[in-house]
Chain A
């Protein structure tokens, strides 16, 4: 008879020996809570506590303080009075309508693209997958400028129509234009979310349906789409919140037709000198948007998420058969109209000395680009934006790595709250964040300085790093850290030497994304801007508003190209790392 006794602490050994004999008394429950308490005590001494405390202090300052100030200011009776203003009611209605409509359109388009590009055998899938994402890589206000260039009164489209003798002026301005452009700029996000959900559906669920007698369309209808529902809903909520908070599109496309949304209304309140103290009214509007965003985020967290176990079998291939070529042609037309032609129109405007001049080699000039890029206003904008984005990227990388480490390593009861504190701001309209910082800036003594914009950027973008680091961290086996512990490292040392080191590349990727996002940001900076702190986005916006389309397009073209190249390269590098 071999002895099975594994080394156990004193009292349990007797029970173990008895168990071999077959008559085991129930083991005493005493040791279990003891062990738990001991472990907890050890954890508090381990240095992770210091990291946790530090992260919490920073988050309380960066996230808690602005939101608290906003809430306190927003619930004042004088602030609530703003809702009696019919202009506010109309703007709120416009905001809800344009955000809901565009989110619906974006989700539909995203779902269609996800199914076709992920599952079908349509030719040139690889290129199309990248091209449909182009609007995602360009800031919405630059997209709006591109469409203005395309559909302007003297733009290429209306001119061509005129040449053909068609007297129908196409215009992008107004409510419908806002909905359309918001949809154009948010469908790539919906596509990414839905495609990810689609990839998580185990292929054998679809195979089981096929062997049961279901054809391709039947499988899509009865199995794939029902399983995709949480993904569709997530895409809808995400695009809804994003579109609710956008500033550039309603400002450039809506305002000329007096189509006001909450973001542009707040901008007008803050920018105009007629209102003596705009802060109470602005806070009330901000609080309303905050509540709306929190409700949607919480509702979405409640939903059953992607809890299905992935399986090796890949999803069902959608054989298009004869429809292959028509579908490909349709997608290329889509990509051409939505993604490429507006950019060409923008380039056209940037490279021609004045609107309306025919596009020939002799007329092309870099004059717009050199003139604007070297003008003092734009140069200051570029410098400010680079400084702010660089600072935000650095802060977000460090803070995001800390948050992700705490969330994935060790279970602490504050983890849920930490998760919400770090990732909620991403779902908040930029307006809410900007107004929060506007309220606390005077108290902190940073009013009208670049610091207030930096603080708002860190708050808004730290979630990008957390998300980028979290998945790779979660997949790092805790035994790697335990091996370092047995080799003599303290818990904090093991965390920093092993886990943090492994997560560093992902954190860096997140930091680069923050850099590229912040450098062309408009919504937050336009509300927080002061003389001398104008950002690149604000510079472009002001040039456009003042009618210097050539100069604005020149800068916008540079921003668009940097964004497209930078984000594509970052994504490609990140993917390569995942593949390894």
Chain B
């Protein structure tokens, strides 16, 4: 088990496309790290760079304290001592289950007698003891992925790399393998890097999550940190499905361009109760600046238009129309059209109907003081 240290790592593809840029990251010993991002964000490029299938065009990479890639250093993948699980398992069809799992040991020069014992032990760990002599074609998808996992950990690798390892599996099975994977890596104290586009999987499995976009790291943090303290609007929208409201920050108070956007007032009339301002705060008295507020679906309450209290002080607030309401595990995932802004809200306790008019009440927001609200543009 070892650490993986990346220093200013970059990769430019042959066609000039920038795959990775300025990656500084340290995977701690025994840590389960998830790389999360939309397709094309560079998460697979980063994993393949760690594996050694891609050579970085800039920066350094060290595994277990040994530099494996730098300007003048190159260690090929077979000499890095890693284990890897591929999306479509990549089980060799011409070898038996035991042949597949024992292959890395054979290459490491482990005596035949010890190989069989070790293979048996690992197969027991993944629950495939009685399948040792089967051909891979006789196995189900989940069993093949378990063989791939056994093959990846059999030689006690420095780190375990998982490339969308569970994405090809069907849902209930995927959830079960997710648990098994977590238990196995804990038990063995494995350093693991897991690439996924599934947010729930990344947040559920990982000790820390790295959010990538356009080849750059957006944020590194525990799942809780990502949800509660996103550092920019991309992380807020990608991880939490937040809705963005561009606006202006004056004297520490956020004023949205949207006519209906209001943050709750405290008893003493302080305007922006519930808003967390991220980025350098403007000095009091300094001139106003553009900013973006991100509101995640769980931070909004909806009031049905009919039930509205006449005394409520909301002059001129436009109502929002429900465009769809999908039933989900945590409530109705409701989409609103609120004066031209498409907004996502999680509704509990009542059933929104398509076409209902509602008033969104924002309870919390993250305000990013150095963003203009234009997609993908960040001052920082």
Bound CA–CA A226/B99 (angstroms): 13
Chain B residues near A205 (CB, 8 Å)? 90, 92
Hey, what's the 0/1 contact readout for B138-153 against A, CB within 8 Å counting as 1?
Answer: 0000000000100110
Q: What are the 3 A-B residue pairs with the smallest beta carbon separation, nearest first?
A: A212-B104, A204-B90, A213-B107
The verdict on A207 contacting chain B, using a C-beta distance below 8 Å, is yes
The verdict on A169 contacting chain B, using a C-beta distance below 8 Å, is no
Shortest distance between the CB of A277 and any CB in chain B (Å): 54
Partner of B78, one of A202, A204, A213, A227: A213
The verdict on B93 contacting chain A, using a C-beta distance below 8 Å, is yes
In contact, B88 and A204 (Cβ under 8 angstroms): yes
Interface of chain B residues 53 through 88 with chain A (CB within 8 A): 53, 76-84, 86-88
Shortest distance between the CB of B46 and any CB in chain A (Å): 16
Bound CA–CA A311/B86 (angstroms): 11
The verdict on B329 contacting chain A, using a C-beta distance below 8 Å, is no
Bound CA–CA A211/B148 (angstroms): 12
In contact, A208 and B84 (Cβ under 8 angstroms): yes
Interface centre among B52, B79, B103, B161 (most CB of A within 10 A): B103
The verdict on B108 contacting chain A, using a C-beta distance below 8 Å, is yes
Interface residue count on the B side (C-beta < 8 Å): 30
Interface of chain A residues 425 through 473 with chain B (CB within 8 A): none
Chain A residues near B92 (CB, 8 Å)? 205, 208-209, 223, 227
Q: List 29 A-B contacts (CB under 8 A).
A: A2-B327, A202-B90, A204-B86, A204-B87, A204-B88, A205-B92, A207-B51, A207-B84, A207-B90, A208-B90, A208-B91, A210-B52, A211-B51, A211-B80, A211-B82, A212-B78, A212-B107, A213-B78, A213-B104, A213-B107, A213-B108, A214-B107, A215-B76, A215-B78, A218-B78, A222-B103, A223-B92, A227-B92, A227-B94
Shortest distance between the CB of A532 and any CB in chain B (Å): 57
Chain A residues near B103 (CB, 8 Å)? 209, 212, 214, 222
Shortest distance between the CB of A562 and any CB in chain B (Å): 38
The verdict on A308 contacting chain B, using a C-beta distance below 8 Å, is yes
Interface of chain B residues 26 through 57 with chain A (CB within 8 A): 51-53
Bound CA–CA A223/B88 (angstroms): 17
Shortest distance between the CB of B101 and any CB in chain A (Å): 10
Chain B residues near A308 (CB, 8 Å)? 93
The verdict on A299 contacting chain B, using a C-beta distance below 8 Å, is no
Hey, what's the 0/1 contact readout for A183-214 against B, CB within 8 Å counting as 1?
Answer: 00000000000000000001011011111111
Chain A, Cβ-Cβ closest to B84: A211
Bound CA–CA A309/B84 (angstroms): 19
Chain B, Cβ-Cβ closest to A205: B90
Q: Mark A residues whose CB is within 8 Å of B.
A: 2, 202, 204-205, 207-215, 218, 222-223, 226-227, 229, 308-309, 311
Chain A, Cβ-Cβ closest to B108: A213
In contact, B77 and A207 (Cβ under 8 angstroms): yes
Bound CA–CA A317/B213 (angstroms): 29
Hey, what's the 0/1 contact readout for B96-117 against A, CB within 8 Å counting as 1?
Answer: 0000000110011000000000
Shortest distance between the CB of A195 and any CB in chain B (Å): 20
Q: Beyond the given A212-B151, A226-B94, could you list 6 further A-B residue pairs with CB under 8 A, ordered by the A residue number? A: A2-B327, A204-B87, A204-B90, A208-B90, A208-B91, A214-B107
Bound CA–CA A205/B103 (angstroms): 12
In contact, A311 and B93 (Cβ under 8 angstroms): no
Partner of A208, one of B81, B86, B327: B86
Shortest distance between the CB of A83 and any CB in chain B (Å): 41
Chain B, Cβ-Cβ closest to A225: B94
Shortest distance between the CB of B50 and any CB in chain A (Å): 11
Chain B, Cβ-Cβ closest to A222: B103
The verdict on B347 contacting chain A, using a C-beta distance below 8 Å, is no
Chain B residues near A223 (CB, 8 Å)? 92
Partner of B88, one of A202, A211, A218: A202
Shortest distance between the CB of B145 and any CB in chain A (Å): 13
Chain A residues near B53 (CB, 8 Å)? 207, 210
Q: Given A204-B86, A218-B107, decide whether A211 and B78 contact each other with a Cβ distance below 8 A.
A: yes
Chain A residues near B86 (CB, 8 Å)? 204, 207-208
Partner of A211, one of B83, B91, B94, B327: B83
Chain B residues near A309 (CB, 8 Å)? 88
Shortest distance between the CB of B237 and any CB in chain A (Å): 28
The verdict on B294 contacting chain A, using a C-beta distance below 8 Å, is no
Shortest distance between the CB of B171 and any CB in chain A (Å): 18
Interface of chain B residues 158 through 192 with chain A (CB within 8 A): 161
Shortest distance between the CB of A168 and any CB in chain B (Å): 48
The verdict on B212 contacting chain A, using a C-beta distance below 8 Å, is no
Chain B, Cβ-Cβ closest to A213: B107
Chain B residues near A202 (CB, 8 Å)? 88, 90
The verdict on B155 contacting chain A, using a C-beta distance below 8 Å, is yes
Chain A, Cβ-Cβ closest to B48: A207
Bound CA–CA A133/B161 (angstroms): 42
Q: Given A213-B78, A213-B108, A215-B76, decide whether A208 and B151 contact each other with a Cβ distance below 8 A.
A: yes
Bound CA–CA A311/B94 (angstroms): 17
Chain B, Cβ-Cβ closest to A229: B94
Chain A residues near B90 (CB, 8 Å)? 202, 204-205, 207-208, 311
Bound CA–CA A214/B107 (angstroms): 7
In contact, A212 and B155 (Cβ under 8 angstroms): yes
Chain A residues near B80 (CB, 8 Å)? 211
Interface centre among B52, B92, B148 (most CB of A within 10 A): B92
Chain B, Cβ-Cβ closest to A209: B103
Shortest distance between the CB of B160 and any CB in chain A (Å): 10
Bound CA–CA A211/B160 (angstroms): 10
Bound CA–CA A215/B52 (angstroms): 13
Interface centre among A2, A208, A215, A229 (most CB of B within 10 A): A208
In contact, A210 and B77 (Cβ under 8 angstroms): yes
Bound CA–CA A229/B82 (angstroms): 29
Chain B residues near A226 (CB, 8 Å)? 94
Shortest distance between the CB of B25 and any CB in chain A (Å): 20
Chain A residues near B104 (CB, 8 Å)? 212-213
Chain B, Cβ-Cβ closest to A218: B107
Chain A, Cβ-Cβ closest to B157: A211
Shortest distance between the CB of A202 and any CB in chain B (Å): 7
Chain B, Cβ-Cβ closest to A226: B94
Shortest distance between the CB of B82 and any CB in chain A (Å): 6
Bound CA–CA A2/B93 (angstroms): 46
Bound CA–CA A558/B168 (angstroms): 55
Chain A residues near B155 (CB, 8 Å)? 212-213
In contact, A227 and B93 (Cβ under 8 angstroms): yes
Bound CA–CA A202/B168 (angstroms): 16
Shortest distance between the CB of A49 and any CB in chain B (Å): 37
Chain B residues near A222 (CB, 8 Å)? 103
Chain B, Cβ-Cβ closest to A319: B76
Interface centre among A213, A222, A309 (most CB of B within 10 A): A213
Q: Given A202-B88, A309-B88, decide whether A210 and B78 contact each other with a Cβ distance below 8 A.
A: yes
Chain A residues near B78 (CB, 8 Å)? 210-215, 218
Bound CA–CA A214/B76 (angstroms): 10
Chain B residues near A210 (CB, 8 Å)? 52-53, 76-78
Chain A residues near B151 (CB, 8 Å)? 208, 212
Bound CA–CA A202/B92 (angstroms): 10
Shortest distance between the CB of B375 and any CB in chain A (Å): 28
Bound CA–CA A543/B22 (angstroms): 73
Shortest distance between the CB of A20 and any CB in chain B (Å): 15
Bound CA–CA A98/B90 (angstroms): 41
Bound CA–CA A218/B52 (angstroms): 17
Interface centre among A222, A226, A227 (most CB of B within 10 A): A222
Shortest distance between the CB of B331 and any CB in chain A (Å): 15
Bound CA–CA A406/B103 (angstroms): 45
Interface of chain B residues 227 through 265 with chain A (CB within 8 A): none
Bound CA–CA A158/B193 (angstroms): 67
Chain A residues near B87 (CB, 8 Å)? 204
Chain B, Cβ-Cβ closest to A311: B88
Shortest distance between the CB of A201 and any CB in chain B (Å): 10
Bound CA–CA A208/B103 (angstroms): 10
Bound CA–CA A445/B107 (angstroms): 70
In contact, B107 and A211 (Cβ under 8 angstroms): no
Chain B residues near A215 (CB, 8 Å)? 76, 78
